[in-house]
Chains A and B, each alone.
Chain A
């Protein structure tokens, strides 16, 4: 961003909003909006609280388990769709439906099916993120030039070698883009899911804070979640950058 020819780092706009927030908070314009400084102070207290730590740990665990399942399932489905016309016609429709459906509405049903524990959170994550990973993997597999697999075959690659030494790597840029999208959806899923269920983990904390008008705590928790999502997303972004050099130069 340039203002009067002076380069301004992107963080600056964030600072403006924080300042506005602080001013609005200090003026006590709305009771749901405490000053930013108070929220930050609360944030540091929050992360030392035992109930927060156990809730965060549970959420994190479910997230990692769910994402692992989604990545494995999504890549498998994408490869099946990309390599067999039949699998594509059977799976394709469902993957597309799930990828675009408003899945939040299913969360209460999941709660009935899987109870109020960790399983529901894991299933929510899987449901939110698998399909986009599958679609992106499929796009990646379709993008592979025919001569690359012919090359593998002509030099005697087995099916397994073809998959692990050629096709997987050739589709990797799209797969990673899919994983990043899946990750963002999973964070959404986990927040929406936990809010709707709101009897376990961070969802219960959110509920407790908003029910008791503890808005410092509420906003602190929101910021923690934002940071968490941002960290995960930039980790994948970093990985994507490592393979980008060949994503654009495939021939």
Chain B
């Protein structure tokens, strides 16, 4: 495990060496004139890896994710995806929402194919692809069900399948499991990892759960609140070869959780 204390240096030094899919440059965000949500954030997101934005509420992690998604405009600074500046949402990024954001009047099949429907993909093609991803997330047999007939965990699987089906390079996940109960959540985390292993996607993941961050991430960005700044960047070096149960008992895993917790504790009243 290596902890990089946050100065401007590590970001600059790494830029040349590694292939970054998303680069965040000097992002500052004000809401109105008095709420300072983010303060000059500089971050690199390595291609093919899972990076987690972790921090207490009020640290601006969801704001940062929405700026990367192009759903919010930064007050200052820029976001580069594949080296190109972001001006709005784009097909190389796909979003997974905290509250699922499914169309309640559409079946699972249509919901999963909705991104492709918007880009005008022929019906047969998008349904075939939607079926493939419905199967991938473990929902085959539910194609013709409506969202209200599914449990919370299943709804988020639909949201995940929808995001995967549009062939984006980056998945942006905004606390995807926070509305899901604990058992489902663990199962979902395990499934997500095995799913991503086959898909070669980069993921930016927002969470407030330390365990979740350490369990799923290659790189954890710890944010401190008011205004949101980068506190530190941690790369938990846990072997992905061992089984989920062993990871949760792994010493490095437990130590990393402990270290993050002692770091974050001081921000809590």
Interface residues of A (CB under 8 A from B): 145, 147-148, 150-157, 161, 165-166, 169-170, 172, 243, 245-246, 249-251
Which of B88, B115, B118, B166 has most A Cβ within 10 Å? B118
Check if B31 is an interface residue, CB within 8 A of chain A.
no
Extra inter-chain contacts (5) besides given A147-B99, A151-B95, A155-B95, CB under 8 Å: A153-B71, A170-B103, A246-B104, A249-B147, A250-B104
Shortest Cβ distance from residue B76 to the other chain A in the assembled complex, whole angstroms: 22
Q: Which residues of B contact A246 (CB under 8 A)?
A: 104-105, 146, 148
Q: Which residues of B contact A150 (CB under 8 A)?
A: 66, 71, 95, 97, 101
State which size class the interface on B falls in: 20 to 34
Check if B253 is an interface residue, CB within 8 A of chain A.
no
Check if B109 is an interface residue, CB within 8 A of chain A.
no
Q: How far is the CA of A166 from the CA of B102 in the complex (A)?
A: 10
Q: Which residues of A contact B70 (CB under 8 A)?
A: 154
Q: Which residues of B contact A151 (CB under 8 A)?
A: 95, 97, 101
Q: Which 4 A-B pairs have the closest CB atoms?
A: A249-B148, A151-B101, A246-B104, A155-B115
Check if B244 is an interface residue, CB within 8 A of chain A.
no
Query: Are B94 and A154 in touch, CB under 8 angstroms?
Result: yes
Q: Which residues of A contact B105 (CB under 8 A)?
A: 169, 172, 243, 246
Q: How far is the CA of A154 from the CA of B92 in the complex (A)?
A: 10
Given contact pairs A165-B118, A245-B148, A246-B148, A154 touches B95 in the complex (Cβ within 8 A): yes
- Out of B89, B117, B146, which one reaches A153, CB within 8 Å? B89
Q: How far is the CA of A148 from the CA of B166 in the complex (A)?
A: 17
Query: Are B148 and A154 in touch, CB under 8 angstroms?
Result: no
Check if B91 is an interface residue, CB within 8 A of chain A.
yes
Interface residues of B in 77-97 (CB under 8 A from A): 88-91, 93-95, 97
The contact sample of 14 A-B pairs, CB cut-off 8 A, is A147-B101, A150-B71, A150-B95, A154-B89, A155-B94, A156-B90, A156-B91, A161-B118, A243-B105, A246-B104, A246-B146, A246-B148, A251-B104, A251-B147
Interface residues of B in 116-171 (CB under 8 A from A): 117-119, 146-148, 162, 166
Q: How far is the CA of A219 from the CA of B22 in the complex (A)?
A: 76
Q: Which residues of A contact B162 (CB under 8 A)?
A: 155
Check if B114 is an interface residue, CB within 8 A of chain A.
yes
- Out of B94, B97, B118, B148, which one reaches A157, CB within 8 Å? B118
Q: How far is the CA of A147 from the CA of B104 in the complex (A)?
A: 13
Q: How far is the CA of A165 from the CA of B115 in the complex (A)?
A: 11
Shortest Cβ distance from residue B151 to the other chain A in the assembled complex, whole angstroms: 12
- Out of B88, B99, B166, which one reaches A155, CB within 8 Å? B166
Q: Nearest residue in B to A150 (C-beta to C-beta)? A: B71
Q: How far is the CA of A245 from the CA of B147 in the complex (A)?
A: 11
Check if B100 is an interface residue, CB within 8 A of chain A.
yes
Q: How far is the CA of A128 from the CA of B214 in the complex (A)?
A: 62
Q: How far is the CA of A150 from the CA of B97 in the complex (A)?
A: 9
Check if B213 is an interface residue, CB within 8 A of chain A.
no
Query: Are A251 and B100 in touch, CB under 8 angstroms?
Result: yes
Q: How far is the CA of A150 from the CA of B96 in the complex (A)?
A: 11
Q: Which residues of B contact A148 (CB under 8 A)?
A: 101, 103
Shortest Cβ distance from residue B148 to the other chain A in the assembled complex, whole angstroms: 4
Q: How far is the CA of A98 from the CA of B161 in the complex (A)?
A: 47
Q: Nearest residue in B to A247 (C-beta to C-beta)? A: B104
Q: How far is the CA of A250 from the CA of B103 in the complex (A)?
A: 9
Check if B210 is an interface residue, CB within 8 A of chain A.
no
Check if B98 is an interface residue, CB within 8 A of chain A.
yes
